[in-house]
Structure 1
């Protein structure tokens, strides 16, 4: 069954009770049946975590608007992408004001992003239509039942577009377990020819695969990489697991988001043994075995 077919089938199963939906959703995308009562792998642990009640801090940090105050308190407002506007009603959205490239985002879920590199040529009606749809969507109920988004106020924000103003900059996603980064995923050309390169924190590739192709060449390590690791630890220490997304623009670190259920359970890591290795890291703190780390490639 194709990925798109699994997505369509999972959407049709959203009438099921929460646990039943989680089990079926996991089976569709991970290719295994699990009750999720005794999770062992990373994917199982993520699904089990998503079934439970979430702390107030999880809800705050999952909200792409409310998290801004948390970020400013923890690492300083200079790491926030400049905010142009926040609205709860599409009627209040002022698309005439931004003169520079900007980004429109929904704050209460994922896959709600519009890049506007040329404001003068922007299709305002199309943007407003998308934002109206976002604001009318309960992402918990109509998405993948992701508990961190449950009860969030639907909002949209307009932010300045960081980087060169023509597209999304590289996105550095830190998978943090018990406060320590264990994997860095570098997303490049996200809205054009998306690649997703999975690296050990030592900046060497893992011998694994996910949903998207990896870049042909090893991405260049950001000049501010050590600061990125420090920030990932600062936010990650509050949770058993979280993904901390950051950007590097001319040596300055910008905060992206904190994600508590990466990929919504849709991404299957291969080989399966690596999924188990991440599970052992999560449960016991066991280091990822060297057999999954391609250190030789870093010297080629």
Structure 2
């Protein structure tokens, strides 16, 4: 229920748990789907969950690296790699499925980007995308990798609330052209029959 509403707690004995609960209650009260123009979130019951903090073992990033696959009917088109994350801000670069850095796909393509090694679990990530994304015209499927293990992050249907600035305008148009509206209509008609 939210985006970026994360509290990192390394030792709960040193935390003011009342303040933590108050902050979480504040997160739960915000009408997230309204604030972001994503009404599909309004039907999801707000919840708080805790998860184990994954260690960052990357040699090129100050934070855990996020691999965000843009998938069309289970076929990944590209991967947005987010690194050096500080809160909601991160450095971002796009790779194609041959693991070629595509600075021309990236909004700030005059910027220089580090050479990022292909993830150890690349094939596992691609296979998971093909299974998880198969039913959807478009979905972004996110993974993390640490200590040679792959972790699922999330699936999102409206990345950046539809206001992404990571990709170039031309590349966003190209990605939009990958969605076959007629195929969606046919699938919807079959499901309602």
Q: Provide Cα deviations, 1:243-288, integer angstroms capped at 9, x if missing partner.
A: 001111222111111111000122245542222211222238xxxx
Find the residue that maps to 1:205 and give its secondary structure: coil
Which of 143, 147, 150 is residue 42 of structure 2 equivalent to?
150
2:101 is aligned to 205
Query: Which residue in the other structure is 2:191 paired with?
Result: none
Distance 1:153 1:230 in 2: 30
Secondary structure of the 2:70 match is strand
Residue 214 of structure 1 and its aligned partner are, at CA, apart by: 6.7
For 1:110-125, what aligned pairs fall within 5 Å after superposition?
110-125=3-18
Question: CA separation of 1:211/1:146 partners in 2, compared to 1, >3 Å: closer, same or farther?
Answer: farther
SS in 2 for 1:278: helix
CA-CA distance at 1:212 after TM superposition:
11
**Contact 1:138 1:154 (8 Å CA) reproduced:** no
Report SS of the residue matched to 1:277: helix
Max radius of gyration: which structure?
1
Contact 1:236/1:242 (8 A) holds in 2: yes
Query: For structure 2, which runs of at least 5 residues remain unmatched after alignment?
Result: 182-193
Task: For 2:129 and 2:41, locate their aligned partners in 1 and report how far apart those are by CA, in whole Å.
Answer: 21
Distance change (3 Å), C-alpha of 1:237 and 1:196: same
For the residues of structure 1 that align with 2:11 and 2:66, how far apart are their CA atoms?
Answer: 21
The 1:188/1:271 distance shift into structure 2, 3 A limit, reads: closer
Aligned length: 175
Residues 107, 168 of structure 2: 8 Å contact kept: no
In 2, Cα distance between equivalents of 1:164 and 1:209:
25
For normalisation by structure 2, the TM-score amounts to: 0.79
Partner of 1:186 in structure 2? 81
Q: How does 1:18-37 map to 2 (within 5 A)?
A: none
- SS class of match (2:78): strand
- Residue 154 (structure 1) shift: 1.1
Give 4+ residue runs of structure 1 displaced > 4 Å after superposition: 211-215
Among 158, 164, 173, which residue is 2:68 paired with?
Answer: 173
Report the equivalent of 1:219. Answer: 116
Match of 2:153 in 1: 256
On the 8 A contact 1:170/1:187 being kept in 2, the answer is yes
- Secondary structure, in 3 states, of the residue corresponding to 2:43? coil
* CA separation of 1:215 and 1:254: change in aligned 2, threshold 3 A: farther
2:171 is equivalent to residue 279 of structure 1: no
Q: For residues 124-147 of structure 1, give each alpha carbon's deviation from its aligned partner in whole angstroms, at most 9, with x where no partner exists.
A: 344223201111122112x22213
Secondary structure, aligned partner of 2:145 = strand
The superposition leaves residues 171-229 of structure 1 with CA deviations (integer Å, 9 ceiling, x where unpaired) of 11111012100010111122267211111121111213248997731212111111011
User: Is the 1:183–1:200 Cα contact (8 Å) retained in structure 2?
Assistant: yes
